[in-house]
Amino acid sequence: MCTDKPKPLPSGFKSNGELVRSFVNYFQDKVSMIHSSITPSFQTSDIGNVSLVSSDLVSFQLQSTEAMTKLIKQCASKSCPLDTIPTVLLKDDIILSAVVPHITHIVNCSLESGQVPGALKVARVVPRLKKEGAMIIISSVTTDLLATSPS
């Protein structure tokens, strides 16, 4: 059983939820401020009489194992701790030939159904902090709270 005492919240916050909402509001405000400061590089009057073509994407083309093999081999060889197989090993001809039919099946099922398996919807977020001391605040926020924060 865990005997560590919970770390106190930064001053001014009564609950973890309030702290998370504060983070969300801060970043939403920051993005809005940046968005409003960006000016378009051209005016709509500069477009002239260009007709815009509209088309709907109704379906995706299913992929072959050859296309998937080529795509995987073209990927950068970077890996993430969440990867089941490091990319360098995945690109090995023997390993790739064994797993590419399964990868192709997963991709094609996702393209046909429009759904991605939940196990593949995992991300690793590493904050890049510019201010000293900010890590103290972030370390007290758990990923469970971030996942349930309002958007």
As for how many domains the chain has, the answer is 1
- The predicted structure's pLDDT at residue 139: 47
| 55-113 per-position pLDDT tens digit | 666 678 899 999 999 999 999 998 888 888 899 999 999 999 999 999 999 999 988 88
Domain-located, residue 23 = no
Which of these, 136, 114, 148, 119, lies nearest to 10 by C-alpha position?
136
Domain-located, residue 150 = no
Contacts by 42-45 with C-beta closer than 8 Å and gap 24+? none
| 11-63 per-position pLDDT tens digit | 777 777 787 788 788 888 888 888 777 766 555 555 555 555 666 666 788 99
Higher-scoring residue by pLDDT: 138, 125:
125
Flag whether pLDDT at 149 surpasses 50: no
Domain-located, residue 16 = no
Domain-located, residue 137 = no
Domain-located, residue 97 = yes
- The predicted structure's pLDDT at residue 93: 93
- The predicted structure's pLDDT at residue 7: 65
Flag whether pLDDT at 142 surpasses 50: no
Residue 144's pLDDT band, with cuts at 50, 70 and 90, is: very low
Domain-located, residue 78 = yes
Supply φ then ψ for residue 109, to 5 degrees. Answer: -65, -40
HSE-CB of 69 using CA atoms within 13 angstroms: 13
- The predicted structure's pLDDT at residue 74: 94
What does 63-103 look like in DSSP terms, one character per residue?
PPHHHHHHHHHHS-----TT-SS-HHHHTSHHHHHHHHHHH
- The predicted structure's pLDDT at residue 12: 75
pTM: 0.48
- The predicted structure's pLDDT at residue 63: 93
Sign of the dihedral defined by the CA atoms of residues 22, 24, 29, 30, in that order = positive
Q: Which domain holds residue 75?
A: 61-118
Domain-located, residue 67 = yes
Longest Cα separation, the chain: 71
Domain-located, residue 145 = no
